[in-house]
Amino acid sequence: MGSTSQVRHFLDIHQHDLASLRRMLDSAATMKRGAGAEKPLLGKTLALIFEKPSTRTRVSFEVGMRQLGGEVICLTGKEIQLGHGETIADTARVLSRYVDIIMLRTDHEAKLHEMAAAASVPVINGLTDSSHPVQIMADILTFEERKGSIKDAVVCWTGDANNVCESWIHAAVLFDFELRIACPEELSPPAATMDWVRQHNGRVSITRNVEVAAADADAIVTDTWVSMHNKDGQRRHNLLKPYQVNAHVMGLAKKDAIFMHCLPAHREEEVTSAVIDGPQSAVWDEAENRMHAQKGILTWCLDR
Ligand code: CP
Ligand code: NVA
């Protein structure tokens, strides 16, 4: 069996149309309500490959796949031949003979695309240095559970315009909401991403002032100042201090605004404990929803 373009990969939010994304989220919400009574992926096996650490992605994919009736094999890059010179493409061809679907967490986005091009089974992006689309699917699910449709909502991202922010940008254009990004110039979204936003008439703005971005927002979102692939921790701490989410920033947003964070969080750095543990925090639902959203993605990829 060779590689085929009909395979349903989930590599990035902006590679899908809104109807497909909505189908994934609707089935996620339905399965969440139904507590996984059906086993649509009985007899299917998911391979999880991690070239970076993970708590949520690993456990939520494992438990979610089992709830769907499937099996899981979890591998780290180092323990398989991938980490010892076997190419991504060869790994993809071989795994496609054993398993029905692959999730990859890696560094360079190009590696994910190489795997998808060579695999004859669906490949899911479990985070790269540049994107984290499965996280943002869970985030949309969480936002809409709390606040209704995200269409025309105002979301404030404050901090490093990193891989998680990139997927929020893709989501803002596809789901048609306003995204205001407060970040230092050095840690702004890539120019190519903002060009893509303009080409698609997206409502994504960039400011250096978190107070401007947070004003009357429906959600305040942030992430760590130092991602797994970043080496310049001290410089980032200095640049990002003004972008912390604290009671003052939450107070600028709507009264019923929620606080979101993909986790892991660094308390008293990008967010204060008072906010993450406070009444507006949605972070634990957000973490739980990783599992439900991914069940929607897994069943969509396998067309069940
Ligand atoms: N949010 C998230 O992807 O967490 P992990 O790194 O623990 O998987
Ligand atoms: N931006 C973070 C997200 C972790 C889930 C990182 O890449 O480390």
Indicate which CATH number applies to the domain containing 163.
3.40.50.1370
Q: Are residues 11 and 88 in the same domain?
A: yes
In this structure, what token pair is assigned to residue 273?
A: 């404990």
List of the chain residues with pLDDT < 70: 1-5, 35-37
| Residues counted in the chain | 304
Q: Dump pLDDT digits (tens) for 117-175.
A: 999 999 999 999 999 999 999 999 999 999 999 999 999 999 999 999 999 999 999 99
What total of structural domains would you count in the chain?
Answer: 2
Phi, psi of 289, deg, nearest 5: -70, -15
Q: Are residues 69 and 186 in the same domain?
A: no
Asked if 253 and 156 touch (Cβ cutoff 8 Å), the reply is yes
Q: What stretch of H or E contains 181?
A: strand 178-182
State the alpha helices, DSSP H only, in the chain: 18-34, 56-67, 88-98, 109-118, 133-147, 163-175, 191-199, 210-214, 233-240, 247-252, 273-276, 283-301
In this structure, what token pair is assigned to residue 55?
A: 């708590």
- The confidence score (pLDDT) of residue 1 equals 40
Q: Are residues 114 and 200 in the same domain?
A: no
| Residue 156 a catalytic site member | no
- The confidence score (pLDDT) of residue 156 equals 99
Q: How many angstroms separate the Cα of 22 from the Cα of each of 13, 27, 30, 262, 270?
A: 11, 8, 12, 21, 31
Q: Are residues 21 and 119 in the same domain?
A: yes
- The confidence score (pLDDT) of residue 35 equals 55
Bridge partner list, 261: 222
Asked if 253 and 220 touch (Cβ cutoff 8 Å), the reply is yes
| Residue 105 a catalytic site member | yes
Q: Which domain holds residue 158?
A: 135-282
- The confidence score (pLDDT) of residue 82 equals 86
Cα 199 to averaged position of ligand 1 atoms, centre (Å): 31
Catalytic residue (choose from 156, 165, 183, 262): 262
Reduced to 3 DSSP states, what percent helix, strand and coil does the chain have, rounded to the nearest 5? 50, 15, 35
First to last CA, the chain: 21
CA atoms of 112 and 115, how far apart (whole Å): 5
Q: Are residues 18 and 123 in the same domain?
A: yes
Cα 287 to averaged position of ligand 1 atoms, centre (Å): 9
The predicted model scores a pTM of 0.97
Residues with CB under 6 A from ligand 1: 54-57, 127, 135, 262-263
| Residue 290 a catalytic site member | yes
Q: How many angstroms separate the Cα of 49 from the Cα of each of 106, 107, 221?
A: 8, 12, 28
Q: Are residues 142 and 218 in the same domain?
A: yes
Q: Are residues 206 and 293 in the same domain?
A: no
| Residue 135 a catalytic site member | yes
